[in-house]
Amino acid sequence: MKPIIEITDLYFSYDNKNLAINNLNLIIYEKEWVAILGHNGSGKSTLAKLLIGLLEPLRGTIKVNDKILSQETVYDIRRETGIVFQNPDNQFVGSTVADDIAFGMENQQISREEMKKRIDKYIKKVRMEAYLQHEPHLLSGGQKQRVAIAGALAMDTKVLVFDEATSMLDPQGREDINTLIQELKNDGDKTIISITHDIKEAMLADRVVVMKEGTVVATGKPTEILKDETLMKDCGLDVPLTVKLSQELKKYNIINDIYVNQEDLVKSLWEYSLIK
């Protein structure tokens, strides 16, 4: 696996007093789906802004696709990394959905023909083709986020960052976006970084990175990380319901393991019911 993002000894402070990012080291590999988990204030959104060069580190380096992020390279690097932000209302500039998707491409002087092709392709990808001429502000939150994703996809970047992109949506909107991220993952040509505090979203990722006080405190498979109650509680997070039920059932010797996936837990119960 080839690293696409390499972060080394990263520090950042908003006020020159408190460190929002405090000696953070992280490697993200090409085509990986990494969920960055942490409570509000753990530094995960700051990290996202540093990754796309919206903030400048105090110290340390961020390498994207072998290029070190600096004032000279920031525009090149934004061609490698797209981002979808948390608040669907704060990221619209166009007067129609189509204009909005075109906006980022216009900044990169992409030809009109190519723009049209990409708008067509990605509006279909996010299943919003019926809304191309609609005004963005009249869409629901979930629809807005889908348009924002189409805009980010149209930039044809290697890396896509979702900064709590589902946290303001209703359950339907949330499910739509998670399905879409899963499809992008299955298409297999993007590296996906989803910054979240939603455990269900983290469960879908290849790898979970847990942040606390501006640094990485744990990284591993979702099935390993999410069952670690001490770690999760310590980071202001909760373990899934399946883990809690596993712990209870273990007391009665009905199962022997702690399960993160509901399917695995139910299967284990089913096996027990057969031998009993």
Partner 1 sequence: MGIQFDKVNYLYARGTSQEKAALIDIDLNIDLNDFIAIIGHTGSGKSTLIQHMNAILQPTSGVVKILDKTIIGGRKNRDINIVRKRVGLVFQFPEYQLFEETVEKDIMFGPLNFGVTKEESAIKAREALKWVGLDQDLLQRSPLNLSGGQMRRVAIAGILAMEPDVLVLDEPIAGLDPQGQKEMMEMFYNLHVNQQKTIILVTHDMNYVAQYANRIIVLNEGRIGFDGNTWDLFANYELIKKYHLDLPDITKLIIDIENKLGIELDHKINTVENLAQALVQALGGANHVR
> Measured from the CB of residue 17, what is the shortest distance to partner 1 in angstroms?
12
Closest CB to partner 1 among residues 16, 186: 16
Listed in sequence order, the residues at least 6 apart from 120 whose beta carbon sits closer than 8 Å to its beta carbon are none
Cα–Cα distance measured from residue 118 to residue 114, given in angstroms and rounded to the nearest whole number: 6
Residue closer to partner 1, measured from CB, 38 or 151: 38
Dmax (CA) for the chain in angstroms is 68
Q: Cβ of residue 139: shortest distance to partner 1, in angstroms?
A: 11
State the pairing for strand pair 67-68/33-37. unpaired
Which CB, 90 or 111, lies closer to partner 1? Answer: 90
Q: Which is nearer to partner 1, 130 or 275 (CB)?
A: 275
Closest distance of CB 18 from partner 1, Å: 12
Neighbours of 48 (CB within 10 A): 23
First to last CA, the chain: 45
Residue closer to partner 1, measured from CB, 40 or 95: 40
Minimum distance of partner 1 from residue 44's CB (angstroms): 10
Contact assessment for residue 12 and residue 19, using Cβ atoms and an 8 Å cutoff: yes
What residues contact residue 136 under an 8 Å CB cut-off, 6+ apart?
Answer: 92, 94, 96, 97, 100, 144, 147
Q: How far is the CB of 41 from partner 1 (least distance, A)?
A: 5
- Which residues would be at the binding site for partner 1 (CB under 8 A)? 38-41, 86, 140-141, 164, 167-168, 170-173, 197, 199, 236-238, 241-242, 244-245, 248-249, 251-254, 256, 262, 266-267, 269-270, 272-273, 276
Closest separation in Å from C-beta 153 to partner 1: 24
- The tokens for 193 are 């970084």
In contact, 183 and 192? CB cutoff 8 Å: no
Residue placing its CB nearer to partner 1 in the complex, 83 or 155? 83
For residue 12, the cross-strand partners are 21
Token digits of residue 213: 């006080």
